[in-house]
Amino acid sequence: MYMSYPRWQQMLNCLMYMLMFLLFFCFRWKLNGTEILPKAGSHFSLSGGNLRISRLNRDRDAGTYQCLASNSFGTIVSREASLTFAYLESFKTQRRSPVSVREGQGMVLLCGPPPHSGDLVFSWIFNESTTFVQQETRRFISQETGNLYIAKVEPSDVGNYTCVVTNTVTKTRVQGPSTPLVLRKSELFPPFLFFISSPSPAPSITWRREDGAPFPRKVDTRKTNGVLEIPYFQQDDVGTYECVAENSRGMNKVKGKLSFYAPPHLIEKPQDVQKLIDDSLVWECKATGKPKPSYRWMKNGENLESTEERIQVANGVLSISRLTLSDTGMYQCVAGNKHGEVYSNAELRVIAAAPDFSHNQLRSQTMVKVGGDVLVECRPKMSPWGVISWRKGSEPLQQTARLHLSACDQAAYKITKCVSEASVITTQPSTLDATVGESVVLPCQVSHDPSLELKFTWFFNEQLIHFGSHDGFFEKHSAGDIMIRNIQLKHAGKYTCAVQTKVDSISVALDLIVRGPPAPPTQIHVEEITDTTASLSWRPGPDNHSPITAYTIQARTPFSLGWQAVTTGELSAVVIDLNPWVEYEFRVLASNRIGTGEPSKPSKQARTKSTSPKVTPANVSGGGGSRSELVITWEPVPEELQNGPGFGYVVAFRPHGATGWMQAAVPSPEASRYVFKNESIQPFSPFHVKVGVYNNEGEGPFGPVITIYSAEEEPGRAPTRVRARSLSAAEIEVSWKALPWNASKRRVLGYELRYWSKSEREDTASVQRTVGNQTSSVIRGLRGSTSYYISVRAYNTAGTGPPSSTVNVTTKKPPPSQPPDKVMWNTSNSKIIVNWEQVKALENESEVTGYKVLYKKNRHSRPSVMETNTTSVELALPTDEDYIIQIKPFGEGGDGSSITLPSKVKGNWKLQIRCLLLVIQSSPMP
């Protein structure tokens, strides 16, 4: 409670507090929780409250510092500040062994940075060059580990590599020992190599959000090193991101989830407060942050321990009842998570006050019934509590067997009493029952003095019922009755109707029984388990006043989607048709005539016994691969169908027409591919293939026999009669003579067009592919008035064949860049006549040969197109509809820039003539 003072006195008090603050403020510092005591000659010194540290030492001075400020009102502490030392030691000088790798493979060179503190930046030097290795599609430097990754190693990559580490704080830089990279021809992989994926050709890498949301402009998606950088990360950037790698052989993608974490931020702080002795205090402290912050309170710089029952701390709320003068002081709320802490300060001042009746006056009249009791309360406001006495008239009241004195002060009060007949509840106590989902009315009828007003109050299991809450189940019905709608099991219990008037109060109780589905069974145990069955036992739960008629058993495994009902033997608790060597949990549901109850708690996990496998791989196929290879692929058998440990695959194959089978064991259960390589395998030769399964319990069956072709050779001939002609400024049509479709088993699956401009290199050419025996294709999206070179190759699963001879063609001049100008139109009857000024092409543009007039009813309808070589057009349009009209010139270079009438044109019976300067639009018609 705040005391009321004149404004001048408040200002004077404020000045006094400020003066006391300045005169008596003192500062202390702690290091790692221990107070610092500066002495003469010490490297610690205080200057105006600031801590100065001279002759810094990493081992002695590193740690967490905290400032404590004290004056006559109390003590507060600052947030913690961490002092760390950045450093970077040198690499060990020992030499590193050469790393050998086959051409075309991927590998990683380890950096292994030396001991350090502070953020590091990693780079690599190649062959003692003065420039660093640049990241691109084949090279990537991890700024987490410093490792250098190279995909698809080429001969030009051979040489010495040196890792360079820079400390961003100290700006110091150290170089590691060089690592030689050499090419080898051995088939054995040395044990110290780390291999990374090296697809051929090198894939293009793109990023996208799983929810389809576009990247904000701050994200640079043009980078080619496979790294997505999101500057100024915000809450909106949270989500799942996909990295998509794609080349002509296919596509692969991987997902990663980004989460947002934030240090605490206070949104509700305690405020300075002045209270009376014996008052109560509630201070609430709220903060946002991720993870959710935790809270603690401090008083005068020390953690507040709630050793007294009157002091409670919970979830950022500090409450103190029956305040005393010793509670005065400086309090701090500290909200923190693993990303930091925030402090909030507030002062509590506890004062005394004289008795005051202004807030709690005695009632001037009290009504009672004959023979009843009456209580007259006297509650003055005073701090601390004082002596209280009563008077009747001018005579002091003395306590007797019938009169008990408990309150009042100096003044005398006159009390007038009125007498009334007692109230009686006419509804007899009873027991009601209902079924879950029904509605029931609980009655409470009263006979009473009509001059008195009745107040009805209902209690459920001695707890007050608040109508409008309780999820809307309870409603007032009529008079004192209430209704419970859509009754649930939780509504069973004792209900009490309490009736109160000015002179008396009465009550009546009734019991409500709710019948419903049974409660969950308990103590579920797996008594015995085999490879496909499990015997269960359990105890029934309460039947909720309706006998149990049946039980349902459900099971869950690490491979199932939630709980599944399982098959049991007739009139038994034996579960059958389980999968061998799988961990199961079971639960039981009981049913009665009303319905099925909630499930029991799950049993402990139990694994079925193992047996030989019964399921073979699905989708066995293959083909492709390198020369002299037979590639066989399949879908791995799910773990829940492997039936035991030691699971693997048996791959059997034979050339078409042979009788004996060749077999190979693939011991990995996750394997999905086997490659048989032999120089005697002819290209694109058919093989019979079947894939079987086995585990430690024995062999399983083989799947069906299918036919798979060995790897083929790339086409050996180049297309001939390659021709190219320009269709427009942006299109070129290319044609060629097709190769024989299946010559010498070198199939042709299609053709690959490579094209590049005169200012570009051939190795940067763009690629466009056709499918099937197509002999022409149109290349689009080109630049006008540009010379292009084009070659054509055949391709199949083995790759591309030799290129055709290169042809050269120049695209036509760009279309007119200026839209029609000075557009005029008028409407009459059901016609619209539009006129415009002739468009003149620039010197570097193709000549205008005509105009296209597009018109449609609305933005989403398909436009109608009219072509003309004049500068006017007459459109026959209905008079009662709106139209959007667009005009664009065209020439041999294509369609030029368009112009759209700025608003809808509506036909009417009045002559309208307009001449407008229209806005240029280069985009297609909306």
Write out the DSSP string of 530-541.
-SS-EEEEEE--
Q: Tell me the residue type at 605.
A: Q
Quick one: DSSP state of residue 92? Answer: P
Structure-token match 């994200």, residue found: 219
Highest mean pLDDT among 204-218, 340-354, 407-421, 597-611: 597-611
pLDDT in the model for residue 12: 44
Q: Report whether pLDDT(418) > 80.
A: no
For residue 384, cis peptide bond before it (omega within 30 degrees of 0): yes
For 743-746, which contacts have Cβ atoms below 8 Å and span 24 or more sequence positions? 743/717, 744/716, 745/682, 745/683, 745/684, 745/685, 745/712, 745/713, 746/683, 746/684, 746/712, 746/713, 746/714, 746/715, 746/716, 746/796, 746/801
Q: What is the mean pLDDT of residues 629-657?
A: 95
Using CA atoms, how far apart are residues 517 and 489, in angstroms rounded to an integer? 9
Which contiguous run of DSSP H or E holds residue 11?
helix 7-24
Using H for helix, E for strand and C for coil, what is the string for 612-672?
CCCCCCEEEEECCCCCCEEEEEEECCCHHHCCCCCCEEEEEEEECCCCCCEEEEECCCCCC
Say which residues have a Cβ less than 8 Å from residue 529's Cβ, sequence separation at least 6: 535, 584, 606, 607, 608, 609
Q: If pLDDT is split at 50, 70 and 90, which confidence band does 6 have?
A: very low
Radius of gyration of the chain (CA): 45
End-to-end CA distance of the chain: 68
Q: If pLDDT is split at 50, 70 and 90, which confidence band does 685 have?
A: very high
Say which residues have a Cβ less than 8 Å from residue 547's Cβ, sequence separation at least 6: 592, 593
pLDDT in the model for residue 910: 35
pLDDT in the model for residue 187: 41
Average pLDDT, the chain: 83
Q: If pLDDT is split at 50, 70 and 90, which confidence band does 419 have?
A: low
Q: Report whether pLDDT(923) > 50.
A: no
Could you tell me whether strands 239-247 and 204-209 are parallel, antiparallel, or unpaired per DSSP bridges?
antiparallel
Q: What is the mean pLDDT of residues 417-430?
A: 72
Q: If pLDDT is split at 50, 70 and 90, which confidence band does 615 have?
A: very high
Lowest mean pLDDT among 232-246, 426-440, 650-664, 695-709: 232-246
Q: What is the mean pLDDT of residues 366-381?
A: 65
688 pairs with which residues across the strands?
654, 707
Backbone angles phi, psi at 58, to 5 degrees: -65, -45
Using CA atoms, how far apart are residues 200 and 338, in angstroms rounded to an integer? 45
Q: Kindly compute the dihedral angle of the four CA atoms of residues 852, 857, 860, 861, in this order, to the nearest 10 degrees.
A: -70
Q: What is the mean pLDDT of residues 89-94?
A: 82
Cβ-contact 619, 695 below 8 angstroms: no
Better-scored residue on pLDDT, 622 or 85: 622
Structure-token match 């008083």, residue found: 299
Taken as a whole, the chain contains a residue count of 926
Structure-token match 């107070």, residue found: 35
Better-scored residue on pLDDT, 18 or 570: 570
Using CA atoms, how far apart are residues 359 and 343, in angstroms rounded to an integer? 37
Using CA atoms, how far apart are residues 180 and 109, in angstroms rounded to an integer? 10
Backbone angles phi, psi at 156, to 5 degrees: -70, -10
343 pairs with which residues across the strands?
334
Cβ-contact 805, 791 below 8 angstroms: yes
- What are the E-state strand segments in 353-410? 353-356, 365-367, 381-383, 391-392, 395-396
Using CA atoms, how far apart are residues 747 and 795, in angstroms rounded to an integer? 8
Say which residues have a Cβ less than 8 Å from residue 88's Cβ, sequence separation at least 6: 114, 116, 118, 120, 165, 167, 170, 172, 173, 174
Backbone angles phi, psi at 516, to 5 degrees: -160, -175
Q: If pLDDT is split at 50, 70 and 90, which confidence band does 251 have?
A: confident
Q: Report whether pLDDT(859) > 80.
A: no
Better-scored residue on pLDDT, 404 or 527: 527
Q: If pLDDT is split at 50, 70 and 90, which confidence band does 152 have?
A: confident
pLDDT in the model for residue 368: 63
Better-scored residue on pLDDT, 325 or 382: 325
Q: Kindly compute the dihedral angle of the four CA atoms of residues 521, 522, 526, 532, in this order, to the nearest 10 degrees.
A: 20
The token pair at 381 is 């406001």
Q: What is the mean pLDDT of residues 910-914?
A: 35
Lowest mean pLDDT among 201-215, 370-384, 593-607, 632-646: 370-384
pLDDT in the model for residue 540: 93
What is the number of other CB atoms lying within 10 angstroms of the CB of residue 258? Answer: 13
The token pair at 913 is 């003539």
Give the residue among 11, 169, 193 at the shortest CA–CA distance from 97. 193
Using CA atoms, how far apart are residues 9 and 506, in angstroms rounded to an integer? 55
Using CA atoms, how far apart are residues 3 and 13, in angstroms rounded to an integer? 13
Lowest mean pLDDT among 416-425, 588-597, 722-731, 754-763: 416-425
Give the residue among 433, 544, 548 at the shortest CA–CA distance from 489. 544
Q: What is the mean pLDDT of residues 618-627?
A: 92
Q: Report whether pLDDT(608) > 90.
A: yes
CA 304 remoteness from chain centre = 37
Q: Report whether pLDDT(534) > 90.
A: yes
Q: Report whether pLDDT(448) > 70.
A: yes
pLDDT in the model for residue 129: 76
Percent of the chain with pLDDT over 90: 40
Entry pTM: 0.43
In angstroms, the Cα distances linking 375 to 315, 405, 407, 548 are 40, 10, 10, 55
Q: Report whether pLDDT(4) > 90.
A: no
Using CA atoms, how far apart are residues 60 and 647, in angstroms rounded to an integer? 58
pLDDT in the model for residue 822: 85
Better-scored residue on pLDDT, 305 or 375: 305
Q: Report whether pLDDT(679) > 80.
A: yes
Q: Report whether pLDDT(95) > 60.
A: yes
Q: Report whether pLDDT(370) > 80.
A: no
Furthest CA-CA distance within the chain:
132
CB-count burial class (<10 Å; 0-12, 13-18, 19+) for 161: buried
CA 388 remoteness from chain centre = 65
Q: Report whether pLDDT(919) > 70.
A: no
Lowest mean pLDDT among 7-11, 443-447, 498-502: 7-11
For 415-419, which contacts have Cβ atoms below 8 Å and span 24 or more sequence positions? 415/362, 415/363, 415/364, 415/365, 415/366, 415/376, 416/364, 416/365, 416/366, 417/366, 417/367, 417/368, 417/374, 418/365, 418/367, 418/368, 418/503, 419/368, 419/369, 419/370, 419/503
The token pair at 168 is 């961003």
Q: Report whether pLDDT(598) > 70.
A: yes
Cβ-contact 333, 356 below 8 angstroms: no
Lowest mean pLDDT among 408-422, 517-531, 615-629, 690-704: 408-422
pLDDT in the model for residue 811: 93
Percent of the chain with pLDDT over 70: 84
Could you tell me whether strands 139-141 and 148-150 are parallel, antiparallel, or unpaired per DSSP bridges?
antiparallel
Cβ-contact 814, 846 below 8 angstroms: yes
Taken in order 123, 129, 135, 139, the sign of the CA dihedral is: negative
Q: Tell me the residue type at 791.
A: S
Structure-token match 């710089």, residue found: 301
Q: What is the mean pLDDT of residues 843-867?
A: 84
Q: Report whether pLDDT(542) > 70.
A: yes
List the Cα angle 394/399/402 in 5-degree steps: 110
Give the residue among 192, 233, 238, 231 at the shortest CA–CA distance from 96. 192
Q: Report whether pLDDT(791) > 90.
A: yes
pLDDT in the model for residue 188: 35
Q: What is the mean pLDDT of residues 265-281?
A: 91
